[in-house]
Amino acid sequence: MRRAFAAALALVLSVGAHKGWDWDLPGGVAPPPVPAANAMTAARVELGRRLFYDADLSADGTMACAACHEQRRAFADGNATRPGVHGDPGRRNVPGLANVAWFPRLTYADPHVTTLEAQVLVPLIGERPVEMGLKGLEAQLPRRLGADPCYRRMFRKAFPERDGAIDTASVSAALAAFERTMISFRSRHDEGPAAMTPDELRGLAAFRQAGCASCHSGPLLTDLAYHRLSGVEDRDPGLIENTGRAEDAGRFRTPSLRNVAVTGPWWHDGSAKTLAQAIARHPAAPPTETIASLTAYLGTLTDARFLNDPRLSRPDEACGKRL
């Protein structure tokens, strides 16, 4: 099964993959597509990593990307939703970032956001709701970041073709490059059934029998399609907001199940406090007596190496100096 998934992924996603970057992928997984205008380089990834943990990317300096995307939670968040820097209530649960490099659709319900470079702008300058609150304050980026000689050096190294310009374009490109290194294909699930306990195997059988894999499919454990699993809410009508099509009301993108055990609370609005609740909400929910085993199986999708990878953690130094 694993080989078939890997082969399918390789076939579908190899087009456009950047060849000059060491992706450190397990056998059979092809590199993700990379926009030609934002080639992967060590300098770009290093800059993106530093920016990801820098709260100067928010209006008042209180919120970094990492404020909501915590590595130990597979870059999700422990809250249902999070208010933005000005206190605007959050609308949707913070999604994990594992394998986002392979996602052709980003965000829960906006089919127009198809690259990480574009997605970065949603929290950075988005207004529905305001998250990091930089809209109208973009000019402060070069002032804030450019005041640090090390940042100036890092931008020059990462974007020599732009003379190291410090602006939203280079910031979003660097962040996207870093996010493409958030790779998680080394869970016990990936080692196959031999690495699972009898209870987890019962959960795997229930997963297959209940048809979960029809949407949580492939190596990414998502079909990346939009589905409606519950009634339409005025508070968040889903895909229809961006398409205007009545049939899209209440539809949200299938989340990946990679590391799902550590990304709770669950559901697009974070309203499922336990995995069992989230499972039970599906229209064709598996029998109640299988949910404990299913939950145990989902635990095998946790990639401990990903959660602890020092290459993804907050950097302690830059330009040879401690931060």
Residues that bind other proteins (CB under 8 A): 54-58, 60-64, 66-67, 70, 77-83, 85, 87, 89, 140, 144, 147-148, 314, 316, 323
User: Helix (H, G, I), strand (E, B), or coil: what is residue 46?
Assistant: helix
**Lookup: tokens for 261:** 């055990």
- State the nearest-atom distance from the C-beta of 82 to other proteins, in Å: 6
- State the nearest-atom distance from the C-beta of 197 to other proteins, in Å: 20
**Lookup: tokens for 307:** 């959660």
Residue 254 gets the label, from left (phi > 0), alpha (psi -120 to 50) or beta, of beta
- State the nearest-atom distance from the C-beta of 4 to other proteins, in Å: 37
**Lookup: tokens for 157:** 């190294």
Spatial CB neighbours of 204, under 8 Å, sequence gap ≥ 6? 193, 196, 297
- State the nearest-atom distance from the C-beta of 215 to other proteins, in Å: 27
Q: How far apart are CA 223 and CA 216, in angstroms?
A: 6
- State the nearest-atom distance from the C-beta of 7 to other proteins, in Å: 39
Longest dimension (CA), the chain: 61
Nearest to 236 by CA among 192, 267, 191: 267
Going by the DSSP 8-state scheme, the letter that residue 272 receives in this structure is B
- State the nearest-atom distance from the C-beta of 81 to other proteins, in Å: 7
Q: Which is nearer to other proteins, 80 or 296 (CB)?
A: 80
Q: Which is nearer to other proteins, 34 or 262 (CB)?
A: 262
Nearest to 296 by CA among 279, 273, 316, 309: 279
Q: Which is nearer to other proteins, 129 or 255 (CB)?
A: 129
Give residue for tokens 């299913």: 294
Q: Which is nearer to other proteins, 42 or 304 (CB)?
A: 304
- State the nearest-atom distance from the C-beta of 53 to other proteins, in Å: 8
- State the nearest-atom distance from the C-beta of 61 to other proteins, in Å: 3
Q: Which is nearer to other proteins, 97 or 240 (CB)?
A: 97
Q: Say which amino acid occupies 271.
A: S
**Lookup: tokens for 4:** 């078939």
Q: Which is nearer to other proteins, 144 or 282 (CB)?
A: 144
Q: Which is nearer to other proteins, 162 or 314 (CB)?
A: 314
The secondary structure of 149-173 as a DSSP string is HHHHHHHHHH-GGGTT--SHHHHHH
Q: Between helices 168-179 and 42-52, what is the axis angle to 10°?
A: 100
Nearest to 223 by CA among 34, 26, 8, 35: 8
Q: Which is nearer to other proteins, 114 or 313 (CB)?
A: 313
